[in-house]
Amino acid sequence: MDTLYSIFVEPFRQIAEAPLFFFEVLIGGLAAGVMYALVALGFVLIFKASGVFNFAQGAMVLFAALFFVGFIDLGLPIWLSLIITVMVMVALAFAIERVVLRPLVNQAPIILFMATIGITFFLDGFGQTIWGSDVRRLDIGIPEDPIFIGDMLLNSFDLFAAAVCGVLVAGLALFFQYTPTGRALRAVADDHQAALTVGIPLNVIWTIVWTVAGLVGLVAGVLWGAKLGVQFNLALIALKALPVLILGGFTSVPGAIVGGLIIGGGEKVAEVYWGPVIGGAIEDWFAYMLAMVFLLFRPEGLFGEKIIERV
């Protein structure tokens, strides 16, 4: 009885009693959700353009962050570290296209998926072999002061991250809408045959999307790293982008954002209000369970279309 009460009544009573606190929690969660969305965005870009489910997106986040903070710790200025890291990510995209994707073209999606798990391990190992596995602080001067909006206590870092995410999404939207390369990419996403008529070889397109995804990963890595320190854990946190994708659908950029917000907000609220009742740290699995239950009812995701298979 007590348990039932503390699960079904008490949390709502608390919410009703202190709505302000609830909103603070929710917004804190949404801020984390923005960062999940950033990782998910990288997935979506690659999936749309090449049909590859890139499990390594999280590893790319860690990889980029490791290199960035590594160069800074070597004493390079931030801007130079950034440029070098960008170059590293471009080189990585080239290498992945050449070494992994090209030989596996036309393989079953599941094989490519497993190959990206291989990439994940390689990148995790490689990054740490070079830079070690100690937690590194990344301070690039993002403000972290608490600020009040009305009566609500918010973290300026979260707002900054949300703003960066917004700018990034807008930038990507413009890129896809107004540049020839972007339009070509969209054409490929809609129809792989169309790619041929656009006149850009498929492998160039793949390299470009992997580069873009790598750069999105870099942004996510810098933000996560500044918040939590750069460490191996980043790769695991980034895995949360997977349930985000399931919620949002694998091909939808708005889906990635909405999914990220739902997961981020949902898990924070669940942790704060329900966590203590059942043992705490439910953030570890909440997102995955939510996604799994969701899959049972709507396998195509929030924004995906229902497809009847043909025979």
Partner 1 sequence: MIYRETGQFRTSYAADQAIFPIRQDRIGIAVILLIAFVVIPATASQYWLETIMLPFLIYGLAAVGLNLLTGYAGQLSLGTGGFMATGAFAAYKLATAFPELHIVVVLLLAGLITAGVGILFGLPSLRIKGFYLAVATLAAQFFLLWLYNRVPWFTNYSASGVISAPPRAIFGEVYVTGFEAKPLAKYFFVLSAVALLALLAKNMVRLKIGRAWMAIRDMDIAAEIIGIRPLTTKLSAFAISSFYCGIAGALWAFAYTGSVEALAFDINVSFRVLFMIIIGGLGSILGSFLGAGFIVLLPIFLNNALLSLGLAEAVALASHIEFMIMGALIIFFLIVEPHGLNRLWQIGKEKLRRWPFPY
Ligand X SMILES: Nc1ncnc2c1ncn2[C@@H]1O[C@H](COP(=O)(O)OP(=O)(O)O)[C@@H](O)[C@H]1O
* Nearest residue (CB) to partner 1, 12 versus 285: 285
Cα 191 from Cα 148, distance rounded (Å): 48
Grouping H, G, I as helix, E, B as strand and the rest as coil, residue 306 is: coil
Q: Give the Cα separation of 119 and 54 in Å (integer).
A: 9
Smallest gap from residue 44 Cβ to partner 1 (A): 13
- DSSP classification of residue 47: H
CB nearer to ligand X: pick between 4 and 308: 308
Nearest distance, CB of residue 18 and partner 1, angstroms: 26
Q: What tokens appear for 79 in the block? A: 């801007």
Q: Residue 238's closest CA among 38, 25, 102, 70?
A: 38
Closest approach, Cβ 188 to ligand X, in A, equals 22
Closest contact distance (angstroms) between CB of 176 and partner 1 is: 24
When the beta carbons of 160 and 294 are compared against partner 1, the nearer one is 294
DSSP string covering 134-145: S-B---S-----
Nearer to partner 1, 28 or 243 (CB): 243
308 binds ligand X (CB under 6 A): yes
Residue recorded with tokens 């939808």: 252
Q: Which residues bind partner 1 (CB under 8 A)?
A: 53, 55, 99-100, 103-104, 107, 109-111, 113-115, 117-126, 128-129, 132-133, 236, 239, 242-243, 245-246, 278-282, 284-285, 288-289, 291-292, 295-296, 299, 309, 311
Min dist. Cβ of residue 109 to ligand X (A): 19
**Close Cβ partners of 21 (under 8 Å, ≥ 6 residues apart):** none
Q: Going residue by residue from 210 to 249, which x/- string records binding to ligand X, judged by CB under 6 A?
A: ----------------------------------------
Q: How many CB atoms lie within 10 A of CB 237?
A: 20
CA angle 42, 45, 46 (to 5 degrees): 90
Q: Is 306 in the site for ligand X (CB under 6 A)?
A: no
Q: Which two tokens stand for residue 100?
A: 């992994």
- Choice between 189 and 223, CB closer to partner 1: 189
Tally of residues, the chain: 311
Hey, which residues does 136 pair with through a beta bridge?
230
Amino acid present at 69? V
Given partner 1, ligand X, none, residue 90, with its beta carbon under 5 to 8 Å by kind, binds none
> Residue 310 interacts with ligand X (CB under 6 A)?
yes
Residue numbers at the binding site for ligand X (CB under 6 A): 308, 310
